[in-house]
Structure 1
Amino acid sequence: MSDAGEADVPEPPAPPDRERGSVEVLGTAHVSQASVDEVRETIEREEPDVVAVELDEGRYRQMQGGTPDDIEAEDLLSGNTVFQFLAYWMLSYVQSRLGDQFDIEPGADMRAAIEAAEANGSGVALVDRDIQVTIQRFWSRLSLTEKLKMIGGLALGITDPRTLGLAFGAVGGAFFGLIVATFLAPLLGFSDLFTVGITDPAVLQYAGGSAIGAIGGAFVGLLFLPSLESASRYTGGYLSGFSLRVLAGIGLGIAGCLALVATGTFVGPFSASGIENTGVYAIRGTTGVLAGLGIGVSIGAILGLVLDTVGSDVDEIDEIDIEQMTDGDVVAAMMEEFRQFSPSGANALIDERDAYIASNLHELREQGYDVLAVVGAGHKAGIERHLLNPHEIPTIESLSGTASSRRFSPLKILGYLITVGFLAFFFLLVMAGVRNVFLLKLFGAWFLFNGIFAFTLARLAGAHWSSAGIGGAVAWLTSINPLLAPGWFAGYVELKHRPVNVRDIQTLNEIVDDTERPIGEAVEAMFDVPLFRLIMIVALTNIGSMIATGLFPFVVLQWLAPEIGGIDALMGQLLQGAQNSLELLRGLL
């Protein structure tokens, strides 16, 4: 992160002439007016040498009106930056909603502590850990299920549960139906169920031409058609310039391919039989999408009702008196509930910070200061426990690292297996003596297939053409390397065109809190926020590469395999390559 502004970081006064000081911990609710009043009264009454606040340098400077932190392009290549901001957004959103409900600015207790300390002549000490370190460690500790729950919580804040359930059901059902009809059905022997009895070659050719034209046209429309920024004025707001470019490209592509089919003019690899086979896939895919869409919407409606019921139960929490949040029993219950949600996440977000803050407070006490520590009520018990046993406090260095605690997650293991499988596939074909021309075609297809998917989804997220181009260009490599992702590279280039900083989180919270705004307008407004657009660009570029990697064996290999005798012959070549490799090893040994 870049420097967060020009506000000077406060320094404690010169140490007093006493051997050892003291620490008093005042627990507050960050969105409570009563806590604000208590902070001011306590500082005025106790007159401490130092008021220690639960802030780090970045948050202090932002509170003092400094420039928010920017995301640096180099930080993005660390791999987790965007996802850390998702976690940061979630935590910020919860606090923002509480602040709105009780009509007080989140963090007002810390601001009151700083102002009261300055008015009283006390020093101010920033004793919390860097928020970026905390969020990185918090995010890395969450399981995949817990991360999905957090992102789902944000989604529920944007729209009502029934709309969310229908949307997920429709998208998930359509995608699952497409996969089943196009790829699984032929393997299981019931593909006729999805072709609905259509076998006429002419019909299949027209269907295939339409499918090729739609896919190719959408790609061409994204890449080459001019931007139509004022299009919404001419379409009543229902279509953006982006949508019109895609639709225009699809229309032109379908018209062009249907003209080729009608005149019997086939060019390049698109022979009559090839387009006919594409038609079979198109009909299966359309049937599968429609079937999946119907099933998915039905399941989504049920899911939406369940989420709506759960959401109504959650709303009852709003009736709790916010002032009770400083009561020890209430806070302990809330902390225990969070630990049940994510024990590892609670360790990074609560326990480690308790130790970090206590370590800084103990150091101030050892220097002779009388300290009043103003911290969130959830941290009070943990900090006081550490201060009673300072020799057991972990070192600051052990609490400040940002390395992931899990070196080998299931996803990483899967990524390594994909890498090994990809390299083994090409190695065995080489050992089998497969022609170089076929290997070049295979590699070229891998490059283009991954690149087109990553590029297209990046553009769908609104990426600059150069960002999407870089993501597409490296997708072939990143899809076989679990330590890389094309979205990082696309995001790296995007940051050169679109600066992003933490103030965007406040803007997103305002959009999410506007419950009167239609969901379509809310999503459009969120895409106008640079941080959200960056998140979507990184995520969709990676998803595009993942989809291409998964579909490659079922689509591209099926298309190229006939050059060496079909899939069975290809498998035979792989076995032959394995045998040749074993014979070579025996000869060497």
Structure 2
Amino acid sequence: MSDAGDVDVPEPSDPPDRESGSVQVLGTAHVSQASVDEVTETVREESPDMVAVELDEGRYRQMQGGTPDDIQAEDLLSGNTVFQFLAYWMLSYVQSRLGDQFDIEPGADMRAAIESAEKNGHGVALVDRDIQITIQRFWARLSFVEKLKMVGGLALGVTDPRTIGITFGAVVGACFGFVFAAIVAPFVGLGDLMLFGVTGQVGLQYAGAVSGGTIVGGLVGLICLPSLDNAGDATGGFLNGFSVRVIAGIVLGLLTGVALVVTETFVGPVSASALENVGTYSIRGLVGVLAGLGIGAIVGGLCGIALDVLTTDVDDVDEIDIEEMTDGDVVAAMMEEFRRFSPGGAEALIDERDAYIAHNLHALSQKGYDVLAVVGAGHKAGIERYLEDPESLPPLESISETDSGRRFSVVKVFGYLVMAVFVGFFLLLIMAGVQDAFLFRLFAAWFLFNGFFAFTLARLGGARWASAGIGGAVAWLTSINPLLAPGWFAGYVELKYRPVNVRDIQVLNEIIGDTERPLGEAVEDMFDVPLFRLIMIVALTNIGSLIATVLFPFVVLPYLAPDIGGVDALFAELLRGAENSLELIRGYFS
């Protein structure tokens, strides 16, 4: 994150001429008018040397009207920046909802503390840990289920969880249905049954022309056609520019595909046999998609109900009495509930910050300052416990750095497994003595197949040509390396043209909080927010590469295998490569 240098952070005044000072901790609710009044009154009555607030430099600058911090491109390559912003967005959203519920600006208690200190001539100290370190450590400590609950809770602000579940389930079901029907079914003897009698060459060619023209035309229209926003306006708002571009591309693709079949004009790779193959896949795939939609919608609906149950506590703020949030028993109960939700997240978000703030407060008192610390009520007990026994404080260095995140990860295990299969596949073919020409075609297909999916989905996410191009160009490598992802590189380039900062989160909160806004309009408005578009570009680029990696052995290899005698011959070459490798190893150790 870059520093916003247009607002100076407060510098501590010279310490008083005394050996040691004192610390008084005032617990507040960040969205309570009563807390604002209490802060103002306490600062006036206690007249401390220093008023310490639960802020870091970045949040202080933003509160004082400074330019919000931008995400720097190099930060994106740290790996989890986008996901950390999702966590930051979730926490900000919950606080924003509370603020709207009780008609007060979140953080008003901290602003009141700063203004009261300046008005009465007291110093101001920023004693909280950098928000980026906190969010990074918080996200790293969450389990997969906890992350799912958080994202689900955020999604509740857009639409009903049952709608989310049905939509997600239908999409996933349709994808699995297509893969099964078009790719797996022929291997288990169900391929011809799923063609519903459409087996003639001409019929399959027309099916291939229609499906291929629709898909390719839609993508070409979306990716290549210039902006047609004016054409969208001409429809009276019934269609937007996005829809007009897609429809125009589909019409062009359909006309072209059908014309090729009618005139029997087949060009290059668009041959009669290629269209027949596409038609076969399309009919089978359509059957699978329809079946998958139904099954996925049912399963997704059940998941939506479960999501509703899991996230009710995240979104429900109507029953909270905000003035009770500063009461010790109520706060303790809320903290205990959060620890049950996520022990690791509570450690990063509460316990570590208690220790960090206590470190700073203890240091100020040791310099002789009498300090009034204004902190959230949830931190009061932990801070006071550390101040009573400073020897129990953990080393400051251990809670001041980003979390390495070196723990078991299913995603990383899957990534390493894919990498091992990919490298082993090529090594076995090399050991079998397969011709270099075939290996080159195989690698070129891997490069182009991964690049196409990553590039296309990046463009669907709204990436610029340069960003999508970089994501597509590196997808072949990143799809076999679990430590890299093409979305990071696409996002890296995108940030050169599309600055993103924390103010985007406020805009997203406003969009989600507008319950009167139609879902389609809300999603479209969210795509206009640079942060959300960046998240979608990174995510979709990575998804594109993942899809290509999964489909490659089922879709591409069967087309390349005939070059060396077919799929059976390819497996025979792999077996021969394994035998040659074992003989080489035996010879080395004998």
Aligned to 2:444: 444
| Letter of the structure 2 residue corresponding to residue 530 of structure 1 | P
Contact 2:153/2:314 (CA < 8 Å) preserved in 1?
A: no
Would you say the 8 A contact 2:153–2:311 is kept in 1?
Answer: no
C-alpha distance in 2, partners of 1:273/1:40? 80
Distance 1:123 1:531 in 2: 36
SS of residue in 1 equivalent to 2:267: coil
Identity, in percent, stands at 73
Aligned residue for 2:251, secondary structure, equals: helix
Secondary structure at the counterpart of residue 394 of structure 1: coil
Question: Residue in 2 aligned with 1:391?
Answer: 391
> 1:174-573 counterparts in 2 under 5 A?
174-304=174-304, 317-573=317-573
User: Is the Cα–Cα contact under 8 Å of residues 141 and 404 in structure 1 kept in the other structure?
Assistant: no
What SS does structure 1 have at the residue aligned with 2:51?
strand
Compute the TM-score of the two structures, normalised by the length of structure 1. 0.96
Q: State whether structure 2 residue 578 is matched by structure 1 residue 578.
A: yes
1:297 Cα deviation after fit: 2.9
Cα offset, 1:452, TM superposition: 0.8
Change (3 A) 1:238 1:463: farther
Question: Does the CA-based 8 Å contact 1:140-1:405 persist in structure 2?
Answer: yes
Structure 2 letter corresponding to 1:81: T
Matches of residues 18-29 of structure 1 in structure 2 within 5 Å?
18-29=18-29
Note the C-alpha offset of 1:257.
Answer: 2.4
Cα separation, 2, equivalents of 1:182 and 1:483: 32
Instruction: Compare 437-446 and 579-588 and name the one that shifted more.
Output: 579-588
SS at match of 2:556: helix
Deviations 1:331-368 (A, max 9, x none): 11111111111111111111110000000011111111
Verify the 8 A CA contact 2:457 2:540 in the aligned structure 1: yes
TM-score for the superposition, normalised by structure 2 = 0.96
Q: How much does 1:526 deviate? A: 0.6
Q: Is contact 1:457–1:540 with CA below 8 Å preserved after alignment? A: yes
Q: 1:434 to 1:335 in 2, by over 3 A?
A: same
Q: State the Cα distance separating 1:313 from its structure 2 match.
A: 7.7
| Counterpart residue type for residue 184 of structure 2 | L
Return 569-578 or 139-148, whichever deviates more: 139-148
Matched residue of 1:375: which SS? strand
The one-character-per-residue Cα deviations of 1:262-304 (angstroms, maximum 9, x if unpaired) are: 3333333444333222211110111111121123334444555
8 Å CA contact 1:232, 1:241 repeated in 2: yes
1:63-212 equivalences under 5 Å are: 63-212=63-212
Q: Which segment is superposed worse, 221-230 or 56-65? A: 221-230
Q: Any idea what the Cα deviations from partners look like across 1:521-557, whole Å, max 9, x if unmatched? A: 1111111111111110111011100111011111111
Return the letter of the residue paired with 2:577.
G
User: Per the alignment, do residues 10 and 484 of structure 1 end up closer, same or farther by CA in structure 2, a change over 3 Å counting?
Assistant: same
Q: In the alignment, residue 54 of structure 1 is paired with which amino acid?
A: E
Native 8 Å contact 1:5 1:68 kept in 2:
no
Structure 2 counterpart of 1:224, which letter?
C
- In the alignment, the residues of structure 1 paired with residue 27 and residue 192 of structure 2 have an alpha-carbon distance, to the nearest angstrom, of 68
CA contact under 8 A between 2:26 and 2:375: conserved in structure 1? yes
1:372 to partner: Cα distance: 0.8
Q: Deviations over 1:93-133 (max 9, x none)?
A: 00000001101100000001111111222111100000000
Mapped to 2, the partners of 1:143 and 1:122 lie a distance apart of: 43
1:490 aligned counterpart, secondary structure: helix
Opposite residue 14 of structure 1, the aligned amino acid is: D
Rounded to whole Å, the distance in 2 between the matches of 1:346 and 1:304 is 26
- Say which SS state the counterpart of residue 318 (structure 1) adopts: coil
Per-residue deviation at 1:193?
4.4
Secondary structure of the residue aligned to 1:548 is helix
Q: Distance in 2 between matches of 1:442 and 1:377?
A: 61
Q: 1:5 touches 1:62 (CA, 8 Å); kept in 2?
A: no
The one-letter amino acid paired with 2:74 is E
By how many angstroms is 1:314 displaced? 7.0
The letter of the residue matching 2:558 is Q
Alignment check: 8 A CA contact 1:479 1:545 kept: yes
The answer as to 2:60 corresponding to 1:60 is yes
The one-letter code of the counterpart of 1:80 is N
Q: Secondary structure at the match of 2:105?
A: coil
**SS of the residue aligned with 1:252?**
helix
Task: Give the match for residue 40 of structure 1.
Answer: 40
Deviates more, 1:577-586 or 1:415-424: 577-586
* 3-state SS of paired residue (2:24): strand
Change (3 A) 1:135 1:16: same
3-state SS of paired residue (1:463)? coil
TM-fit CA distance, 1:192: 4.0
Q: Distance in 2 between matches of 1:577 and 1:306?
A: 49
Alignment-derived partner of residue 588 in structure 1? 588
Q: What are the Cα deviations for residues 484-508 of structure 1, in whole angstroms up to 9, with x where unaligned?
A: 1111111111111111111111111
Q: Find the residue that maps to 1:230 and give its secondary structure.
A: helix
Cα deviations across residues 25-79 of structure 1 (Å, max 9, x unaligned)? 1110000011111111111111111111000000001111110000111111111
Structure 1 residue 443: Cα displacement: 0.9
Q: Which amino acid aligns with 2:458?
A: A
- Tell me the distance in 2 between the aligned counterparts of 1:245 and 1:310: 40
| RMSD between superposed Cα atoms in Å | 1.8
CA distance in structure 2 between the partners assigned to 1:137 and 1:313 by the alignment: 23
How much has 1:141 moved relative to structure 2? 1.2
Question: Which residue identity does 2:125 align to in structure 1?
Answer: A
Within 1, Cα distance between the matches of 2:432 and 2:490? 37
What is the distance in 2 between the residues matched to 1:562 and 1:322?
A: 70
Bigger mean CA deviation after superposition, 539-548 or 286-295: 286-295
Unaligned runs of 5+ in 1: none
2:94–2:314 Cα contact (<8 Å) kept: no
Distance 1:220 1:576, change over 3 A: same
Deviation at 1:310, TM superposition (A): 7.1
SS at 2:156's partner residue? helix
The aligned amino acid for 2:199 is T
Name which of structure 1's ranges 517-526 and 186-195 shifts more when overlaid on structure 2: 186-195
Unaligned runs of 5+ in 2: none
Work out whether residues 76 and 488 of structure 1, in 8 Å CA contact, stay in contact via their aligned partners in 2. Answer: yes
Query: Shift of residue 9 of structure 1?
Result: 1.0
Distance, in Å, in 1 between the alignment partners of 2:87 and 2:15 is 38
Specify whether residues 399 and 313 from structure 1 end up closer, same or farther in structure 2 by C-alpha distance, changes over 3 A only.
Answer: closer
The 8 Å contact of residues 153 and 315 in structure 2, kept in 1 or not, is answered as no
